Structure 1
């Protein structure tokens, strides 16, 4: 019985009041965000009558998100992180209110929607970057894997549960009400952030006059100098670009399964992540986080390759659930390395770079899979992407060189 309890999700971080408030508020806010995520593409399609505009909305948010993530990461290293997090969280709520306003005014403007989507994605990139830099200031280092698993479980659960009520409520209450509900849900996180203590830079007060661009450049140079960071980013980028076949789900559903099965394919990956989070107690006892990153990336690749060979829906769902569990583990250990392998004074910048990789990888993956799928066929593309991910993960493990305490080579950045 005791061994079984150790395997279940580790709730230790919830004993920290500040983290517990943020986590609980994040449940409400994540569900609210799913309402907007469902309504925006539906509105764009209704106004334009073209899926091309819906696809453009995803690209419109990428550049602002990347720029804001790098900027906020640098700012989090020189300013009070609580204040930066409070500003970006409130900003997300304001953009949801503006989305409600355009729906209430019945503007029917794709351009206005794209501008608001770009602004919200920029704020989201900044907010998620600072949030991950805040977590190590709230919980002890040994609890970071558990804390990251709990936060990932909230996002994945919202990805499964959120779209269902959104789709059911939209015809009854309209898009404006759902946008308004999202803006109200953000208030829960604003309250939780407001209750945080001040989080100024360790070892000194705010450094207001240092140029942000210089701090961003310093963070990039640190990544280039330290193998442990490069290898973690490489594994994650390979998994998200080479091995993420979601762009091919519509074609798979239409040609191999049934068009109505596409929702199940998308949900299976998130469901696998939730199931893995429920048994994430084992993560806390893993000490070689770098090795865990590479192994998780390899397991993700194997599961994706298996999915590419599936010819029945149950087999495909099982492979995707396994893939989702591996992706959850990859994210947990990646975040833990980036949160513990560097001094607190550069955590924000590394989280900014991580946000760019996490946002850019899937978009590049959509392009690669869409192009390769048209040329080689869907099964070969999906399986080949999974195999390539396994190859990258194996090379990372085999070429790790001298072991750091994270397990994939390079000097510890604190001792550089």
Structure 2
């Protein structure tokens, strides 16, 4: 029975052994709860003003363009500066942008253009902050605790994704939007207090200065590792074809009105939460590439079901199934990234990772919104996208045989060799400089 619990339960060791990770987990979970409320509210506000799914999908374009640049900048800075300071500065900037959304909602005629501007600026800040956060976390725990840490980080995100949209749907249906944004603004205080208490996370010795050359170094490393390329391409494919969130406000209208909007956003989080809580088994699996491919295909299956469903309960069930599959994919992708990338490249590769898991959903919103304006309509856009996701995943499995057969044990050895080579080179540079 104890073996079964270890297999199906969740490993909480990083929360017990690392004070700094515990602070990051608590602050991030509370802040994420409020951020997911705003994540639901902005598309709803755009839909309420325009009544056009394409205009909601264009939010993704506004976020994508700055991310294409700032993710590289944020990754380079994360390898050169104190990562904790970058994360804390990002939280302050995001709080300020939420304050602007609050003021806009209080005006007699909220400005549509301002919602797009805030979406773009939020993406800029996210591009600077998130690589530093993802590069910081592996420094706060022991290497053998990384699988459990990735699952716990996912748990914190899913708690926010589950509770935030559900509360957002309730608040939107009974209160003015200004109160919704005010709640998000309040949650930033918790994350800022926790990040202030975290000890400094300085850059690696002899860190590369931020430059185009340092960014190219990260890109070359990513290109040289088939297991990394596989994680990027599989996720982009799944999210581009199978991300229907831009259609949720319109799907809610068909299934019950604004009061169930939060349920649509929260349903994938329910599946993700269940998958995360029972994720202890992931630490015993070494065929990480195969698991990413299988999970991505199952995500597509869930999206097909959601598009074909005509009842609320079945739609929510299919979205929950898809969310669970997506979380399994995310856990194994995070394990691959954390166990195989040397620390001196962690920030720059985190920037590339960020592009992989954000460009797909953002472009997917545009795809789903544009396809919904055709004869397929809202539900047709959803299920056709799910079919294309499955087909694309199968094609990538054939096109990327080294990713399909990737074994995590090999990645750990490669990372260790890369870290040792960098430390030796840094030591040599120090000796040459002292002469």
Decide: shared fold, TM above 0.5.
yes
Cα deviation, residue 171, structure 1: 6.6
User: After superposition, what is the alpha-carbon deviation per residue over 1:92-132, rounded to whole angstroms, capped at 9, x for unaligned?
Assistant: 11212233334446573223333223212221232222211
Aligned equivalents of 2:292, 2:272: Cα separation in 1: 15
Please report how far the alpha carbon of residue 43 of structure 1 lies from its aligned counterpart in structure 2 after TM superposition.
Answer: 4.2
- The yes-or-no answer on 1:14 pairing with 2:11 is no
After the TM superposition, which residues 6-405 of structure 1 pair with which residues of structure 2 at under 5 Å, given as runs?
6=6, 7-15=8-16, 16-44=18-46, 53-104=55-106, 108-170=110-172, 174-204=176-206, 210-246=209-245, 264-305=263-304, 315-369=314-368, 374=374, 377-378=380-381, 381-382=384-385, 384-392=387-395, 394-395=397-398, 398-400=401-403, 405=408
CA displacement at 1:262 relative to structure 2: 6.5
Flag structure 1 segments of 5+ consecutive residues without an equivalent.
Answer: none
What's the offset of the Cα at 1:68?
1.9
The alignment of Structure 1 onto Structure 2 pairs a total of residues equal to 412
Post-superposition CA distance 1:320-346 (Å, at most 9, x none): 333211110111111221122111011
2:239 is paired with a residue whose SS is helix
What's the C-alpha RMSD, in Å, of the aligned pairs? Answer: 3.4
**TM-score scaled by structure 1?**
0.85
Query: Structure 1 104/369 Cα, relative in aligned 2: closer, same or farther at 3 Å?
Result: closer
Q: Deviation at 1:367?
A: 4.1
Runs of 5+ unmatched residues, structure 2: 422-435
CA distance in 1, matches of 2:252, 2:168: 23
| Conserved? CA contact 2:230–2:400, under 8 Å | no
Distance in structure 1 (CA, Å) of the matches to 2:35 and 2:414? 40
- The TM-score normalised by the length of structure 2 is 0.82
Quote the Cα distance in structure 2 between the aligned partners of 1:81 and 1:150: 20
For the Cα contact (< 8 Å) 1:36–1:178, is it kept in 2? yes
Q: Assess if the C-alpha contact under 8 Å between 2:61 and 2:363 holds in 1.
A: no
SS of residue in 1 equivalent to 2:297: helix
* Shift in alpha-carbon separation, 1:148–1:54, aligned structure 2, 3 A: same
Partner SS state of residue 162, structure 1: helix
Task: Using the TM superposition, name which of 367-376 and 215-224 deviates more.
Answer: 367-376
Find the residue that maps to 2:219 and give its secondary structure. Answer: helix
C-alpha separation in 2, matches of 1:96 and 1:248: 23
Structure with greater helix share of residues: 2
Q: Residues 163-198 of structure 1, C-alpha deviation per residue, up to 9 Å, x if partnerless?
A: 333343357653334333322211211121111222
